[in-house]
Structure 1
Amino acid sequence: MKVAVLLVFWCLCSDCQGSGDVVITIVTPDSPWHTQQAVRKQEQWSKHGATVILSTQLSTEGAPWTLTPLLAPLAEGYGSALWFVLVTEWTLVNVDQLDTALSTYDPHKEWYIGHSVEDSEPVIVHHFNTPHSLAFPLLHSGIILSAPALKRMATLSGSFNPSFNIDPVFEFSLFLKYLHTPVYKELHPSPSPPHPDGLLLTHLPALCTTPLTPHCATGVSLQQNCSGRLNVESVFFAVKTCGKFHKTRLPVVWDTWAAGLPESCIGYYSDFADERFKTTSLGIPNTEKGHCGKMAAILQLFEREQMTHDWLVVADDDTLLSVDRLLEVLRCYDSSRPVLMGDLYGYTAHRVGGSSFVSGGGSMVLSSVAVRSFVSTGQRCPTRDYADDMLLGMAAKSLGWDVVQSPFFHQDQPRSYPQAVIEAQKAVSFHRHSPMDPATVYSQYLSTEHETLRDKKTEL
């Protein structure tokens, strides 16, 4: 079986033509490190007989990371293919094993194949969907659609219309099950039956969640190992808080991820100054939601005081971080470029005119160049309680920043994510202090006590 590998770098292109039985699409951010990894995959698979098709051969409307924008151009440009495989730059592929795995399925029938997982409890990142009511795949392990399935779903993709894009594989699976984006009442208190012509996921064990073994067609390696030196003084951490949470949340920050941080590398920004809690007043009244005014004031302060840090991390007072792992990740990025990084969400990002943004709860990482770009172009909050992360996303889109989806940042607690995903990585962040105890979350999932990175001045 001949294999074609298609790289998708989140850019616009046209005039696609393709051949081959299998088209593998690498869904990756348009950012130098990620592009480099994708190109390496391309070269590796080519050595094993794969035919390589470059990203300039695909045109998408909407953000490719939301998946449905990929369907129509793939169907139109690669009509002779039998199988379409979606992976990421974190995916490992054994081309021969993939060929063998697919040979057991009839490509002329409709198939939606992946490594199947389910929610064991209602979680916010999946819209509090009823547990065990929907099987969805892991994108890093690969998603496979037969040509008939992809082509039919491409014709129906206009019915995919979530307001917010949170977990694209979950939302994609909902769409395939119901052939439209279900409204809340269709899922609660119990889900409606699938559409008679809907498509449910078929589990394929050969799509592995671990590095490749002899029995794996795909595997996953969630590691960023970059050379260079980065010390903790290169990063400034801005913690957003307010008076009512000083006493309950800030001590958790001090006892966990901020323990040992130099005072010159962290600030606590509130609606009023309190020496007991080291808070600085920004002169912005607290709001119950959005916090855009507070975020914008932090960026303006960072620029006005001419801070020399290369990176700014804006975190909530109930964000939990691993500073050492963050420094490892940041070694792979160029702070002289405008970069916005974290857990990527979208507001109708699957459509033209939608926007992608980094969700604030898992922390928002900005290069100093991005901060300068934001301030110098006069970006303003429509209201103080406008969503700060959405404003940053719109600014990033209009100003041409690198917007990086990192799998190591998380908008919620570990229990909201498939265990296989959490076990496969060294997480950088989680969010919220309940229902899981924050000290427990930090010690079990974020602490690097035995990794001793900062014990070496974090000169990595």
Structure 2
Amino acid sequence: MRKFVIILLSFILLTPTCGMFSDEISFLVLSQKNKYHLGVAKQLKHTIIEQSLNLDDGTKPNIYLSHEVFEKSNSWAIVPILIDILNQLITPQTKWLLLCEANSVINLRKLLQRLSEEDEKQAVYLGYPLYDREATIIHHFAFFRNPSEFKYPFLKAGVAFSIPLLNRLVDRLLLSSTKHIVLPKAPTDFTIDPAHELALFIWNVDKNLILKPVPYLCSHHGPECAIYAREENIFCGNPISLDKVLFAVKTCEKYHKERLPLLLQTWARFTIHLRIFSDALDETIPTIATGVLNTEHGHCEKSMKILRMVLEEIQRNSTLKNIEFIVLADDDTLLSISSLSEYLGCFDKREYIYLGERYGYDLFSDDSGYSYITGGGGIVFDVKTIRKLVNSCSCASPSSPDDMIIASCLKSLEIEPIHSSLFHQARSKDYAPEILSRNAISFHKFWQIDPLEIYEWWFRKRDEEYYELNKQVLSDYKYLKNSCVTPSTTNNKIENKISHNVKHVEL
């Protein structure tokens, strides 16, 4: 009897109170090398470890930061590293792979309890489902007849994969490589949204494999949440003054009257250092002529010429002596100068800065593939990065894609892109509302929207407030635009007619 009691007590003591042991989950945090984002990822890792000590189940959680585990720069795209995940991160006792981002918030006890209630022996993946309100270019217009029918996971809310599912996906990848079977993939070689493309890959393997929504993986904080998505922080306590940022807009003559007035009525009026580069000189704007003929696509030669001209002016113009960052933007890019300036204060000035929204090209290839910052959402460089770029890079042709050529060159210089979900290559309506942050920095494209209304809704108030603060500090700049914060007739009209279909997201 005594022996039975001892065995029973041992069993009770060894059984986790939350249903699973900590080491039965392998956590993969999508992380980046730069000091700021690495700090956020390490803080998440530390928090999970700290929580595991309070569980006292005798095990340690397996937590991996993607940039540390995988040398490949394509780990953010997920599908290209599924084989590596299975080989390197999954142990015999692993029941679930938990994929999340550095800005995910995790309650380990609750997560273990809720996952213990799921059937880990089935091929399944769990998450918070997102869907497109309308067919969008960022998802290659997938399911254009009914885009809302296809669900894909919100990575920041966490995605749990059973090991049987992971095995099945890896088997398909291995089969395609050994038997020359065509691999299910996106319609192009471009990676834009890894969550959508992961879900599409799984769906193409087996159309019965669809994301299972669960209430404990959440888009925002709530009492049910084992994981919830947190906004990317832009307030690091050291905002960049507006006199340290130069904005370089690239345009062409045919858009001087169509697009530039919209920029000059919105974010451009709150800048201190603004340069508008075009194929034609127009002193009424004014524009700066690059001497490069306009091309319908690519614009590589134009962008490289702009960066060279900016660097030359910084070297000879004493009013630009404080410039630390250059923002290269299109003439149909909407920016928040306040969010951008706050966010830039988070980065270490000793690092090379090449910042914006990250896309990928040919990421299944170890040699030719690379990641790049998309031009439409705005590309942020520090001065030393531009100096290396213009001294080392050239365009294959004037119409080569500028953002891709820049990335390919910087890759050879071992300067990696820094991704932020606050920059957007497309319009706000092209994204699931849960993804959009009130700290958004940019949107792109004026097609089928009113840019004035979008700017009013997302950016204008904070930009005015930030400019007013900077104006008090930078009073020695004689050309500060004192009228910027005076509500204009245009602004009053906008306030009276914000369209009902422009969605404001509060996360």
TM-score w.r.t. the length of structure 2 is: 0.80
Q: SS of the counterpart of 2:355?
A: strand
Match of 2:211 in 1: 201
Match of 2:298 in 1: 290
Tell which structure's C-alpha radius of gyration is larger.
2
The residue identity in structure 1 corresponding to 2:201 is: F
Deviation at 1:426, TM superposition (A): 1.5
Please, what is the CA RMSD of the aligned residues? 1.9
Unaligned runs of 5+ residues in structure 1 are 4-19, 180-194
Match of 1:92 in 2: 105
Match of 1:444 in 2: 457
Aligned residue among 62, 68, 80 for 1:69: 80
Q: Distance in 2 between matches of 1:138 and 1:278?
A: 43
Q: Distance in 2 between matches of 1:436 and 1:209?
A: 26
Contact persistence 1:325–1:426 (CA under 8 A): yes
Q: Deviations over 1:84-113 (max 9, x none)?
A: 011111111111111122122111111111
Structure 2 CA distance for partners of 1:412 and 1:247, relative to 1, 3 Å: same
Contact persistence 2:106–2:227 (CA under 8 A): yes
- Would you say 1:371 and 2:404 are equivalent positions? no
Match of 1:185 in 2: none
Contact persistence 1:114–1:141 (CA under 8 A): yes
- Would you say 1:177 and 2:203 are equivalent positions? yes
Please say which of residues 50-59 and 275-284 is displaced more in the overlay: 50-59
- Would you say 1:321 and 2:335 are equivalent positions? yes
Q: Distance in 2 between matches of 1:257 and 1:284?
A: 26
Q: Distance in 2 between matches of 1:89 and 1:53?
A: 12
Please list, as runs of the form range in 1=range in 2, the aligned pairs for 1:94-133 lying within 5 A after superposition.
94-129=107-142, 130=144, 131-133=147-149
Decide which structure has greater helix share: 2
Q: Distance in 1 between matches of 2:160 and 2:72?
A: 21
Number of aligned residue pairs: give it: 423
Q: Distance in 1 between matches of 2:464 and 2:50?
A: 36
Deviation at 1:375, TM superposition (A): 1.5
Contact persistence 2:29–2:63 (CA under 8 A): no
Q: SS of the counterpart of 1:219?
A: strand
Match of 1:25 in 2: 28
Aligned residue among 135, 155, 168 for 2:151: 135
Contact persistence 1:60–1:70 (CA under 8 A): no
- Deviation beyond 6 Å, 4+ runs, structure 1: none
Aligned residue among 403, 414, 430 for 1:400: 414
Match of 2:8 in 1: none
Please list, as runs of the form range in 1=range in 2, the aligned pairs for 1:58-457 lying within 5 A after superposition.
58-59=69-70, 61=72, 63-77=74-88, 78-80=90-92, 81-129=94-142, 130=144, 131-157=147-173, 159=183, 161-162=185-186, 163-179=189-205, 195=206, 198-210=208-220, 212-222=221-231, 223-262=233-272, 265-305=273-313, 306=315, 308=321, 309-353=323-367, 354-377=369-392, 379-422=393-436, 424-449=437-462, 452-457=465-470
Deviation at 1:336, TM superposition (A): 3.4
Contact persistence 2:278–2:287 (CA under 8 A): yes
The residue identity in structure 2 corresponding to 1:139 is: L
Q: Distance in 2 between matches of 1:220 and 1:170?
A: 17
Unaligned runs of 5+ residues in structure 2 are 1-19, 53-59, 177-182, 475-507
The residue identity in structure 2 corresponding to 1:392 is: I
Deviation at 1:54, TM superposition (A): 4.8
Structure 2 CA distance for partners of 1:24 and 1:53, relative to 1, 3 Å: closer
Please say which of residues 391-400 and 231-240 is displaced more in the overlay: 391-400
TM-score w.r.t. the length of structure 1 is: 0.88
The residue identity in structure 2 corresponding to 1:177 is: W
Q: Deviations over 1:283-340 (max 9, x none)?
A: 0000001111111001111222225411110000000000000001100112332211
The residue identity in structure 1 corresponding to 2:396 is: P
Contact persistence 1:361–1:431 (CA under 8 A): yes
Contact persistence 1:62–1:351 (CA under 8 A): no
Structure 2 CA distance for partners of 1:207 and 1:67, relative to 1, 3 Å: same
Match of 2:21 in 1: 2
Q: Deviations over 1:140-173 (max 9, x none)?
A: 1111110111122123235254400011111111
The residue identity in structure 2 corresponding to 1:70 is: I
